[in-house]
Homo-oligomer: A and B are copies of this chain.
Amino acid sequence: MIRGEHNDYWAGVLEEFFHTEIPITAHMGVEVVHYDRHNLELAAPLAPNENDKGTGFGGSLSSLLTLAGWGLLHLNAAERDIDCDIMIHKGKIEYLKPVLEDFTARCGLPEEGGLAEFFNRLQHRGHAKIDLRSEILAGNGCAAFFDGRYVAMLRKEQ
């Protein structure tokens, strides 16, 4: 499989996973629109995620931001065949402007080597943490961002 098909395969796996395992994401209309090992981009339509002002509901933006970081780690672990639970531990969110249309959330790995260190620590100690920034993109810029700390724990063998 060439790299592009490989990435599309994993994007499809994640979208199916979201809709079956985290059912509210199906109601939100979450789609996985891009994945490579360094970046994940999720999309959601405005209509099911709007608030009383007809703009993006803060809770839906927060959910998509949280999922973008989580999904990027989840797929990287799956590609490496690492059996672990990944959880959001804490984060800071800031809303910069109203979201007036369909929107995406993008998360990229922070630096070369950061993810390798995370997985090394996970496999040696059984747990590890990593900080990731996700951004909501809508119209012509960033509408919100989330600095999240995620933790991972190796699953015990059955």
Give the contact stretch, choosing among A44-52, A75-83, A108-116, A121-129: A44-52
Contact with B along A71-95 (1 / 0, CB 8 A): 0000000000000010111111111
A135 to chain B, nearest CB (A): 14
Given contacts A62-B62, A90-B95, contact A57 B22 (CB under 8 A): yes
Contact with B along A16-34 (1 / 0, CB 8 A): 0100011110011000000
**In the complex, what residue of chain B is closest to A88 when comparing beta carbons?**
B58
A90 and B90 within 8 A (CB) = no
Q: CA A23 – CA B50 in complex, angstroms?
A: 7
A25 to chain B, nearest CB (A): 8
Given contacts A17-B52, A85-B53, contact A24 B90 (CB under 8 A): no
4 A-B pairs with the lowest CB-CB distances in the bound complex, closest first: A59-B63, A21-B52, A27-B27, A90-B94
Task: Supply 21 A–B pairs (Cβ within 8 Å), ascending by A.
Answer: A23-B47, A23-B48, A24-B57, A24-B59, A24-B60, A27-B48, A58-B66, A59-B62, A59-B63, A59-B64, A59-B66, A60-B63, A62-B62, A62-B63, A62-B93, A87-B95, A90-B92, A90-B93, A90-B95, A91-B93, A92-B92
Q: Known contacts A21-B52, A22-B52; can you find 8 more A-B pairs with CB under 8 A? A: A22-B51, A24-B60, A58-B63, A58-B66, A58-B87, A59-B64, A59-B67, A63-B63
